């Protein structure tokens, strides 16, 4: 290629940096989306456990449900 017609090294470096930033940004969005899906699932599970706690009188079953509820609440508090 003739001199002056190609892209300069500065342009190439800037393009690589921009592409890297875009990949990082997309990965961050995917991680956020996965986290939101996880949180939604935990909240649905917690709601189901609360519903079951309201219906059961068996002390062993209640104890198991309360342990599961505590674990879900702990997982929801984690960043």
Whole-model pTM: value is: 0.63
Residue 67's alpha-carbon distances to 36, 42, 64, in angstroms, are 23, 14, 5
- What is the residue extent of each domain of the chain? 9-77
Q: How far is 1 from 59, CA to CA, in rounded Å?
A: 81
pLDDT in tens, the chain (79 residues): 556 566 666 667 767 777 777 777 888 889 999 999 999 999 999 999 999 999 999 999 999 999 999 999 999 998 6
């Amino acid at each position: 290629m003739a001199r002056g017609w190609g892209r300069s090294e500065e342009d190439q470096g800037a393009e690589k940096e921009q592409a890297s930033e875009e990949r990082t940004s997309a990965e961050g969005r995917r991680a956020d989306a996965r986290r939101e899906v996880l949180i939604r699932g935990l909240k649905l599970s917690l709601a189901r456990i609360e519903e079951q706690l309201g219906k059961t009188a068996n002390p062993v079953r209640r104890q198991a449900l309360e342990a599961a509820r505590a674990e879900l609440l702990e997982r929801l508090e984690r960043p």
